[in-house]
Structure 1
């Protein structure tokens, strides 16, 4: 089986939202919009969210461990880079998903990484 392309996007919440408001909105209403877009249904093989526990992260920072300053991460897998990048340029995505993201995250501060997974255990 060919390796899937994996995009990780690290995100920061809007300052006006509490951690709970951010995680609740991102976990519940937002995926309904994201997953309803036709090109997402067609091109995205897998989608998951990583929610940062800010309380514990703060404790680890206080203990001297370097913690990334993000509130979460989006993981998206597809068959090719071209198919995944097509999602982000799609007209329906731009009209439906982008305005919704602006309700809860700082789009200008997102950071993207692209690669593949090497499953070594489990």
Structure 2
């Protein structure tokens, strides 16, 4: 078993601000916040990929029923891909991110409820 050495991913599970509907959350995150975050110079320099994964509520309920498992509490997942975790951490620690992005997050997520997963990659199947 070996992990890729050319890139890593960080996934952050997000819980939406309870004052927003699921649609409002997705719209804000896809539009306003995505433009704000991806417009930062350090993001353009340090990230290879930024993806948003928004939960599909009808499928989420079907999946929970089919698996006999509880419905997931998460509303989405932000996925950051870079050459190293250091490059990702540089973004989060930058003055620009702290001044511009962090204050914007309160509009659509509960930041203190987020959970981060640093992910080393091993592709098993790629069709």
User: Could you say what secondary structure the match of 2:117 adopts?
Assistant: strand
1:47 CA drift (Å)? 0.4
Structure 2's unaligned 5+ residue stretches are none
Structure 1's unaligned 5+ residue stretches are none
For 1:106 and 1:96, the matched residues in 2 are separated by: 17
Q: Which residue is equivalent to 2:73?
A: 69
User: Could you say what secondary structure the match of 1:61 adopts?
Assistant: helix
The question of whether the paired residues in 2 share the 8 Å contact of 1:46 and 1:77 is answered with yes
Q: 1:121 aligned to 115, 118, 126, which one?
A: 126
The question of whether the paired residues in 2 share the 8 Å contact of 1:3 and 1:116 is answered with no
TM-score for both structures, normalised by structure 2: 0.88
User: Could you say what secondary structure the match of 1:45 adopts?
Assistant: strand
The question of whether the paired residues in 2 share the 8 Å contact of 1:34 and 1:97 is answered with yes
For 2:81 and 2:63, the matched residues in 1 are separated by: 30
Cα-to-partner distance string for 1:52-93 (whole Å, 9 max, x where unaligned): 012331343344234421000011011111111111010000
Cα-to-partner distance string for 1:1-53 (whole Å, 9 max, x where unaligned): 84301000000001110000000111111111001111111101100010001
User: Could you say what secondary structure the match of 1:21 adopts?
Assistant: helix
2:103 paired with 1:99: yes
2:89 paired with 1:60: no
TM-score for both structures, normalised by structure 1: 0.91
The count of corresponding residues between Structure 1 and Structure 2 is 122
